[in-house]
Amino acid sequence: MLLAELFPYANIVYNVLTVLYFITVATVVIVVLSENRNPVKSMAWMLVLVGLPLVGLVIYLVFGRSLKGVTMISRSSLRQLRRRNDFPEPDLDTLQLSDESLQLISLVNSLTGPQLFTGNDVKVFDNGQDMVDAMLADIAAATQYVHVQFFIIENDTVGHQLCDLLMEKARQGIQVRVLYDYVGSFHFSSSLLKQMRKAGVEIHPFLEVTFTQFANRVNWRNHRKVVVIDGNVGYIGGMNIADRYVTGEKGQRPWRDTHLRIAGEAVAALQYSFAIDWNFTTRSLLTSPTMRYATRPTSGTMMQLLASGPTSRWNNISFVFFKAIALAKRRIYIQTPYFLPSDALLKAMQSAALAGVDVRVMVPRKPDSRMLRLATGSYIKECLLSGIKIYFYEPAMLHSKVVIMDDDFVTTGSTNFDFRSFEHNFEANALVYGEEFNHQMAEAFLNDQQHCTRVVLAHWKRRPLIQKALESIVRLMSPIL
């Protein structure tokens, strides 16, 4: 009554807003249905929209929308970038690889276009100090340009080491370009950012989140870690730029992770990936005649680079993971900090284990997120019942992202084994073919296994009831964690 006296049109405004709200919700429901998503996911979103007035709409606007079909770069720009890479495609029939690996190569070619790089020297880093030392040395030796892209660049000792060196190279006249994820590097120092730009470093955040564009951007993060130096040397993997990978933090041991240094043809693919993200962020195209894209060793490790993201027609990396698991005849070893598989991937792993394939999954005992720890725990019983072996890595946070199949396929990069990496993040993985590299990575996995505790089903069933309940509740949020 008082409100009506103060504002005589309050009822009319309320009724109009109510009608507009329900029209909006109905429109969103129609959009969800028209996208033809997984029926379970579509039903879940409709329940959220209808069952949580206003809040459900906000949640959907931030986390529920699809970017399928959104163009990151024009076709003409893509053609210009592709012309920079004129390496001849090898004849797959002449490669000494298993039929399973040849199928994976064909799958990637279908997803991204023909690309297999046969001449590469690959060095594996399993600790942050060695990786950072090597990367800084390569950057210090740069004579033309340095391209750097990380999800996280922390405002700490390691972060300042990298930024100081990049500023020094820029002052020397070297072209230095840096991309960082706005959310992942939210604490990146604004004063340091100004210093870098003043020194001549071209540095930009990927999908900067503003108040007016919060819902449009906050859920779509660039999780890639790519470095290209003079077109001859590149880095890709799971490590970010932070002290926790090198010296540890809060009295903890350094995080265990995996990163690759690549010299050879595949650097062209790293450059191509960086160039697309750079064009998306800055609207400038890296096609300078002096921009060398890679050298051409005559022999070496065979590789592909696979990028994936919410704008891709297919969930590229998820497809490759699924195909590798389905093709496996002998073993599948998986390292991941977070284990939240889609229903399809979980069933593929269970089917492989039930068929006699040695399927092992290694996750950290204590990941850096309690919610993700609970969500991971909700999948463990299903895995154990099918014969999948689960290992808890004990010494430190395991941040490594590796999938090893049989004897001649390995993939590693930025992709976690979870919904966010498969559907919401921009990710990049190296796919490496050949027995020597496979055995090297399998040996590293088995060495890590020596520092793990294997989960036993009888013991796992006895965990507290409250933990089981929390795991089940948090699992419902797996697609947006």
What are the CA-CA distances from residue 442 to residues 55, 314, 360, 406 (Å)? 47, 29, 11, 9
Which DSSP string corresponds to 185-237? TTT--HHHHHHHHHHT-EEEEET---STTHHHHTT--B---EEEETTTEEEEE
Contact 277, 206 (CB under 8 A): yes
Compute the C-alpha angle 316/321/325, nearest 5°: 150
Q: Does the pLDDT at position 2 exceed 60? A: no
Q: Are residues 249 and 334 in the same domain?
A: no
Q: pLDDT tens digits for 347-381?
A: 999 999 999 999 999 999 999 888 889 999 999 99
Q: Are residues 336 and 468 in the same domain?
A: yes
**Assigned domain for 70 exists:** no
The predicted pLDDT at position 460 comes to: 94
The answer to whether residue 399 is catalytic is yes
The predicted pLDDT at position 251 comes to: 82
CA 192 to chain centre: 26
Confidence of residue 408 (pLDDT cuts 50, 70, 90): very high
Q: Are residues 137 and 97 in the same domain?
A: yes
Range of the domain at 419: 316-480
The answer to whether residue 439 is catalytic is no
The predicted pLDDT at position 431 comes to: 98
What is the pairing mode between strands 233-237 and 259-264? antiparallel
Which DSSP string corresponds to 52-88? STTHHHHHIIIII---TT--SS-HHHHHHHHTT--PP
As a whole number of Å, the end-to-end CA separation of the chain is: 44
Q: Are residues 21 and 150 in the same domain?
A: no
Q: Are residues 287 and 389 in the same domain?
A: no
The answer to whether residue 424 is catalytic is no
Question: Which residue shows structure tokens 């996995």?
Answer: 445
Q: Are residues 17 and 89 in the same domain?
A: no
Question: b/e map of 38-63 (b: 16 or more CB within 10 Å)?
Answer: eeebbebbbebbeeeeeebbeebeeb
**Assigned domain for 273 exists:** yes
**Assigned domain for 264 exists:** yes
The predicted pLDDT at position 112 comes to: 87
**Assigned domain for 363 exists:** yes
Q: Which of 147, 223, 259, 424 is catalytic?
A: 223
Question: b/e map of 172-211 (b: 16 or more CB within 10 Å)?
Answer: eebbbbbbbbbbbbeebbeebbeebeebbbbbbbbbebee
The predicted pLDDT at position 9 comes to: 57
Q: Does the pLDDT at position 33 exceed 90? A: no
Q: Which of 169, 225, 323, 424 is catalytic?
A: 225
156 DSSP 8-state letter: S
Q: Are residues 29 and 140 in the same domain?
A: no
Q: Are residues 235 and 271 in the same domain?
A: yes
**Assigned domain for 310 exists:** no
Confidence of residue 93 (pLDDT cuts 50, 70, 90): confident
CA distance 51 to 284: 45
Q: Is 46 left (phi over 0), alpha (psi -120 to 50) or beta?
A: alpha
76 vs 249, higher pLDDT: 249
Q: Are residues 338 and 232 in the same domain?
A: no
**Assigned domain for 80 exists:** yes
Confidence of residue 471 (pLDDT cuts 50, 70, 90): confident
Q: Which of 138, 181, 230, 257 is catalytic?
A: 230
Q: Are residues 225 and 125 in the same domain?
A: yes
Q: Are residues 25 and 90 in the same domain?
A: no
One-letter amino acid at 431 equals L
Q: Does the pLDDT at position 338 exceed 90? A: yes
Q: Which of 406, 408, 418, 448 is catalytic?
A: 406
Boundary of a domain, candidates 254, 281, 305: 305
479 vs 380, higher pLDDT: 380
Averaged pLDDT for residues 182-197: 90
The predicted pLDDT at position 215 comes to: 47
Token reading at 480: 């947006």
Q: Which of 147, 259, 323, 399 is catalytic?
A: 399
Confidence of residue 213 (pLDDT cuts 50, 70, 90): low
Domain count, the chain: 3
Average of per-residue pLDDT values in the chain: 85
76 vs 331, higher pLDDT: 331
Q: pLDDT tens digits for 435-467?
A: 999 999 999 999 999 999 999 999 999 999 998
Q: Are residues 23 and 147 in the same domain?
A: no
**Assigned domain for 441 exists:** yes
Token reading at 148: 């750097």
The partner residues of 177 in beta bridges, in order of sequence, read 147, 202
Reported pTM: 0.86
In CATH, what number is assigned to the domain containing residue 432? 3.30.870.10
**Assigned domain for 332 exists:** yes
Averaged pLDDT for residues 230-250: 94
